């Protein structure tokens, strides 16, 4: 059994630990209005591997690290400053998934993305 999810897209992310992470994503065809990000929330956890319980970094719309740019055309971006990245990660390879969920009880949770995060040292310092 593989680790990929049939409902999400596999996308690897490479980031520099000396720069703000500003990665943007658009989901689905812009002509498709059958779903939107209206009344949805987002969470991305970064871990050393899928087998460990410890989350190294959590990005959410509530903490401002995931920003919905357009709910109708389903565009969002990550907004993580370098100090936050450096406090949570060292150079290496990690795993993540991005979950969209609503406020129903229990919430409907949809995995949108999953993959590896490659954290690399940058060159330029303060």
DSSP string, 47-93: ES-TT---EEEEEETTTTSEEEEETTTTEEEE-B-HHHHHHH--SEE
Give me the pLDDT at residue 29, please: 87
> What is the arithmetic mean of pLDDT over 29-55?
94
Q: How high is the pLDDT of residue 80? A: 98
pLDDT recorded at residue 30: 82
Q: What is the pLDDT of residue 56?
A: 98
Q: Check: CB of residue 66 under 8 Å from CB of residue 78.
A: yes
Quote the pLDDT of residue 98. 97
Asked whether the beta carbons of 76 and 37 are under 8 A apart, the reply is yes
Question: β-strands 92-101, 41-47: how paired?
Answer: antiparallel
Share of the chain above pLDDT 70, in %: 94
Residue 100: the pLDDT is 97
| Dihedral, CA of residue 118, residue 64, residue 98 and residue 7, to nearest 10 | -140
The pLDDT score that the predictor gives to residue 1 is: 38
Partners of residue 21 on adjacent β-strands: 80
Show me where the domains of the chain are located: 10-120
What would be the CATH architecture of the domain defined by 10-120? Answer: Sandwich (2.60)
Please name which of 18, 13, 72, 87 lies closest in space to residue 44, comparing C-alpha atoms. Answer: 13
Dist CA 82 CA 17 (whole Å): 6
Model confidence over 47-104: pLDDT tens digits?
999 999 999 999 999 999 999 999 999 999 999 999 999 999 999 999 999 999 999 9
- Please tell me the predicted confidence (pLDDT) of residue 4: 44
pLDDT at 3: 47
Mean pLDDT for 29-56 is: 94
pLDDT value of residue 33: 86
How many Å apart are CA 114 and CA 126, to the nearest integer?
32
């Amino acid at each position: 059994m593989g680790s990929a999810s049939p409902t999400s897209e596999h996308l690897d992310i490479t980031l520099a630990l000396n720069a703000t992470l500003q990665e943007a994503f658009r989901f689905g065809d812009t002509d498709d209005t059958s779903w939107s990000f209206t009344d949805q929330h987002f969470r991305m956890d970064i871990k050393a591997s899928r087998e460990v319980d410890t989350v190294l970094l959590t990005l959410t719309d509530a903490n401002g690290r995931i920003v919905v740019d357009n709910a109708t055309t389903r565009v969002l971006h990550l907004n993580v400053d370098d100090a936050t990245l450096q406090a949570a990660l060292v150079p290496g390879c990690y795993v993540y998934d991005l979950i969209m969920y609503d406020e129903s009880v229990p919430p409907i949770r949809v995995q949108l993305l999953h993959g590896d995060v490659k954290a690399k040292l940058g060159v330029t310092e303060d």
